[in-house]
Amino acid sequence: MNPKRHELKPDEQLIRKSQKGYQILEKTFGLPEWRQPLSALDELVSTILSQNTTDVNRDVAFTRLKKKFPNWETVREAPEEEVVEAIRPAGLANQKAPRIQAILHQITEERGDLTLDFLSEMGRQGAHDWLSRFKGVGPKTAAIVLQFSLGIPAFPVDTHVYRVSGRLGLRPEKMGVENAHAWLEQLFAPEQYGPGHLNFIRLGREICHTCKPECPRCPLNGLCDYFQNLQKPVNCPA
Ligand code: SF4
């Protein structure tokens, strides 16, 4: 379960540093917006499809799924192999298809129909905990549905956000990705969660690569612990 906010407390200096980093990224990349908002259930399925693949492959798989099946009820009742075939471009289709169908069955059993709109009335922790019970729904997936579909502020931490925040020194180095969600939420204002998430991802994709980060041209190098120290080599294949 995602830790409650009061269990973790960054100090004022770190909050100021985070704010400075946020402002620099906004000046550099602008104020990004999420793609076309989806319903909460559509966003949940789309985010499950996005796991371990690219945005392009996720979108291809999601479009194929929506084209093949007229609604979520027919996805739920379809033979598993038909769902696997539809979402194959997203990869791990044999794992993702049964997970999606199990979630659709569970929502139907508990709620009587296939919608997640009721979550917007549950508040941040309630909606997060409700979603997190499903197999295949971790803190990042839950936070994406909250932030970008339900309008409940949450800071999703994907692999880029986790790596960049660690190198910058915005979180304790050994903090796990689950705890990083609650931690980063205390460094930024709720209205900064969406743009901050997107700009950190962009920085991670374009400059702060897993291997060979391009520190000399990074707009945040003046704030970055990794760049200041440059004492820990990045382990990359030769
Ligand atoms: S200075 Fe280097 S390590 Fe630090 S955030 Fe920028 S690219 Fe990443």
Contacts of 97 (CB under 8 A, 6+ apart): 80, 83, 84, 87
Do the domain assignments include residue 200? yes
* CB 227 near ligand 1, within 6 Å: yes
Co-location of 45 and 122 in the same domain: yes
Co-location of 217 and 139 in the same domain: no
Residue type at 45 in one-letter notation:
V
Q: Where is the domain boundary, 92, 127, 150?
A: 150
pLDDT score, position 35: 78
pLDDT digits (tens, 9 = 90+) for 51-76: 999 999 999 999 999 999 999 999 99
Q: Domains in the chain: how many in total?
A: 2
Question: Which is the catalytic residue, given 4, 17, 27, 140?
Answer: 140
Whether residue 4 contacts residue 182, with contact meaning beta carbons closer than 8 Å, is answered with yes
Q: Is the confidence at residue 230, as pLDDT, over 70? A: yes
Co-location of 197 and 225 in the same domain: yes
Question: Could you give the CA distance from residue 195 to residue 122 in angstroms, rounded to a whole number?
Answer: 24
* Helix 12-29 and helix 177-187, axial crossing angle in degrees, nearest 10: 90
Mean pLDDT of 131-157: 95
* CB 170 near ligand 1, within 6 Å: no
Q: Where is the domain boundary, 132, 150, 168?
A: 150
Do the domain assignments include residue 236? no
The model's confidence at residue 222, banded by pLDDT at 50, 70 and 90, is very high
Do the domain assignments include residue 11? yes
* CB 224 near ligand 1, within 6 Å: yes
Whether residue 8 contacts residue 184, with contact meaning beta carbons closer than 8 Å, is answered with no
Co-location of 126 and 188 in the same domain: no
Q: Is the confidence at residue 126, as pLDDT, over 80? A: yes
Mean pLDDT of 70-88: 98
3-state secondary structure 116-139: CHHHHHCHHHHHHHHHHCCCCCCH
Q: By C-alpha distance, which of 34, 59, 32 is closest to 45?
A: 59
Instruction: Give the CATH number for residue 65.
Output: 1.10.340.30
Q: Where is the domain boundary, 115, 150, 185?
A: 150
Mean pLDDT of 160-186: 96
pLDDT score, position 6: 47
Q: Is the confidence at residue 21, as pLDDT, over 70? A: yes
Co-location of 123 and 159 in the same domain: no
Do the domain assignments include residue 234? no
* CB 168 near ligand 1, within 6 Å: yes
Compute, in angstroms, the gap from residue 117 CA to the centroid of ligand 1: 39
Mean pLDDT of 76-96: 97
Fill in the DSSP letter of residue 72. H
Instruction: Give the CATH number for residue 215.
Output: 1.10.1670.10
Ramachandran region, residue 110 (left: φ > 0; alpha: ψ -120 to 50; beta: rest) = alpha
140 in catalytic set: yes
Co-location of 116 and 131 in the same domain: yes
Do the domain assignments include residue 237? no
Residue 207: domain span: 5-33+155-229
Mean pLDDT of 124-132: 95
Compute, in angstroms, the gap from residue 56 CA to the centroid of ligand 1: 26
Token pair 């019970």 is found at 133
Mean pLDDT of 75-88: 98
| Angle, alpha carbons 23-29-35 (nearest 5°) | 110
Question: Could you give the CA distance from residue 43 to residue 233 in angstroms, rounded to a whole number?
Answer: 37
Whether residue 44 contacts residue 103, with contact meaning beta carbons closer than 8 Å, is answered with yes
Give pTM, 2 decimals: 0.90
Compute, in angstroms, the gap from residue 47 CA to the centroid of ligand 1: 27
Residue type at 108 in one-letter notation:
T
Q: Is the confidence at residue 144, as pLDDT, over 80? A: yes
